[in-house]
Amino acid sequence: MGTAVRQPEVRERSGERVSYRFPPGFQRNLLWYALRKFRPANPIVLFQHLADTYGDIAHYKIGHHHIVFLNHPEYIREVLVVQNDNFIKERTVQRTRMLLGEGMITSEGAAHRAQRLAAQPAFHRQRIGEYGAVMVEEAAHTRDLWQAGERRDIAIDMMHLTLNVVARTLFATDLREEVYELAAAINRIMGLYNFLVMLPAAEWLVHLRPPGLAAFVRARQRIDAVVYRMIDAHQKSGLDRGSLLDLMLAASPANDEASRQSLRDQVITIFLAGYETVANALSWTWYLLSQNPECEAELHNEVDGALRGKLPAVEDVSRLRYTENVMAESLRLYPPAWAMGRYARNDFALGDYFLPARTTVLISQFITHRDSRYFPDPLRFDPDRFTAEGKAERTKFTYFPFGAGARQCIGESFAWMEGVLILATLAQKWKLRLVEGHRVEPQPLITLRPKYGMLMQVDPR
């Protein structure tokens, strides 16, 4: 591989000479390596190589575009928090817009602030408490659906479950049968897209086959149909139930095509952000529990002691600490949002380095969460890393499954509550065993999915 020292690059800017200082990294353009060494379909291998070879910060180029990959809490904090104003989530990536439009994830500046502000009350602590009952009801519904001894793709079950939860809690809509149609259409789109959607400029990495456009358009039309039905039903009823959809409608009173389109974008963004991530987190958690029977036994112990046979309620969450730590440790090893990308608006300094505007910055939860400097014996599943003492000892910005700074996940408290309540409800009755011979491999798409699903046998406890 290339040597680590890079010559400073000098550029003229408004008559002034600017001298950049780049971190160590690939000497050749990444396209060269992509053709020879890395399977572009798995960017995690590339990121791991960069971290192993160059350390805390690594530089490479794709075409004329500069990219730095960060794996140090100080650099990560600089980009996500301290210098946040200098970074955007590159919006020009056409593919992202094709999928999500201009919702909270993709919007910037004033548009982003307005959307975030409008949605905030739906994520208020008290509101999330109210959602708890629905989360348990939906989990109990899934629990009753399962039969002793049957084999199920738990990844699909978790998707249906969390999709129903988001629809009922945030959009006051009971999807019921439509859930299958919606999940299938979203799955179709996810399958067509890969991680590049979220990582600006990295798209040059691969000679992307253009996604099957016809299949994409069909899937998108199906999603749009469900979303528009939901919006129309809300508007017709004239009732304000205080749901997120009502808040969005109130913030966008015009009834023209542009407003409808914008509403659609906002709704679909929350749907995607709010169910895929939690579903994947739960699938990975069931897998990890099946591989770590002592932890599973401890979780059962806690659930039985705290609930004494009754269904969990919001008030029980504070007593389900170990369950929460299990989820936290699962989010460490298999973070559903496994990487984040930013794009610099202006020249910027990071440590000893000085980088030009339009540099792309990449950060990966998957890589940092598995760094032995921050998590000794990093591949071991150990929920006790998240006890109060464990948390107090940990360096900040080494664990960030929900991101950080102004763009930190708005649904974080929602996700913790939902994860804990669903785990407790299902674990009260069932334990899940990985079907022998089933391959388990993380696939870094928009979220980190189990590539072959998660085929598990449902056994009564």
- By CB under 6 A, name the binding residues for ligand HEM: 89, 104-105, 116, 166, 170, 269-270, 273-274, 277-278, 281, 336-337, 340, 401-403, 407, 409-411, 414-415
Which residue in this structure is represented by tokens 């602030």?
113
Alpha helices in 25-83 (DSSP H): 30-36, 43-54, 73-77
Task: Using the minimum distance from each CB to ligand HEM, give the nearer residue, 33 or 386.
Answer: 386
Task: Using the minimum distance from each CB to ligand HEM, give the nearer residue, 155 or 409.
Answer: 409
Residue type (1 letter), 235: Q
Return the number of other C-beta atoms located less than 10 Å from residue 330's C-beta. 26
Task: Using the minimum distance from each CB to ligand HEM, give the nearer residue, 219 or 282.
Answer: 282
- Using alpha carbons, select from 373, 302, 275 the residue that is nearest to residue 74: 373
Task: Using the minimum distance from each CB to ligand HEM, give the nearer residue, 356 or 405.
Answer: 405
Shortest Å distance, C-beta 151 to ligand HEM = 25
Shortest Å distance, C-beta 107 to ligand HEM = 8
- Bridge partners for 360 per DSSP: 67, 343
- Bridge partners for 418 per DSSP: none
Which residue in this structure is represented by tokens 């002034």?
16
Shortest Å distance, C-beta 455 to ligand HEM = 22
How far is C-alpha 51 from the geometric centre of its chain's CA atoms?
Answer: 21
Q: At what angle do helices 154-171 and 244-251 cross, to 10 degrees?
A: 50
131, 420 Cβ separation under 8 angstroms:
no
- The span from the CA of 53 to the CA of 207, in Å, is 25
Return the number of other C-beta atoms located less than 10 Å from residue 341's C-beta. 22
Shortest Å distance, C-beta 378 to ligand HEM = 18
Task: Using the minimum distance from each CB to ligand HEM, give the nearer residue, 24 or 401.
Answer: 401
Task: Using the minimum distance from each CB to ligand HEM, give the nearer residue, 249 or 422.
Answer: 422
Shortest Å distance, C-beta 137 to ligand HEM = 17
Shortest Å distance, C-beta 195 to ligand HEM = 13
Sign of the alpha-carbon dihedral angle for 290, 295, 297, 298: negative
* Beta strand 65-70 pairing with 340-344: unpaired
How distant, in Å, are the alpha carbons of 90, 104, 295 from that of 257? 25, 19, 52
- The span from the CA of 191 to the CA of 157, in Å, is 18
Task: Using the minimum distance from each CB to ligand HEM, give the nearer residue, 185 or 415.
Answer: 415
Shortest Å distance, C-beta 72 to ligand HEM = 18
Task: Using the minimum distance from each CB to ligand HEM, give the nearer residue, 24 or 450.
Answer: 450
Shortest Å distance, C-beta 6 to ligand HEM = 27
- The span from the CA of 402 to the CA of 412, in Å, is 7
Which residue in this structure is represented by tokens 């112990």?
301
Task: Using the minimum distance from each CB to ligand HEM, give the nearer residue, 76 or 281.
Answer: 281
Shortest Å distance, C-beta 130 to ligand HEM = 14
Shortest Å distance, C-beta 83 to ligand HEM = 14
- The span from the CA of 171 to the CA of 178, in Å, is 14
How distant, in Å, are the alpha carbons of 58, 66, 192, 202 from that of 361? 10, 9, 25, 10
Joined together, the tokens standing for residue 129 give 């408490």
| Beta carbons within 8 Å of 97's beta carbon, 6+ residues apart | 91, 106
- The span from the CA of 36 to the CA of 31, in Å, is 9
Give the CB-nearest residue to ligand HEM.
411
How far is C-alpha 346 from the geometric centre of its chain's CA atoms?
Answer: 27
Task: Using the minimum distance from each CB to ligand HEM, give the nearer residue, 106 or 428.
Answer: 106
Task: Using the minimum distance from each CB to ligand HEM, give the nearer residue, 170 or 456.
Answer: 170
Return the number of other C-beta atoms located less than 10 Å from residue 91's C-beta. 14
Shortest Å distance, C-beta 437 to ligand HEM = 29
Shortest Å distance, C-beta 427 to ligand HEM = 18
Task: Using the minimum distance from each CB to ligand HEM, give the nearer residue, 26 or 343.
Answer: 343
* Beta strand 87-88 pairing with 442-444: unpaired
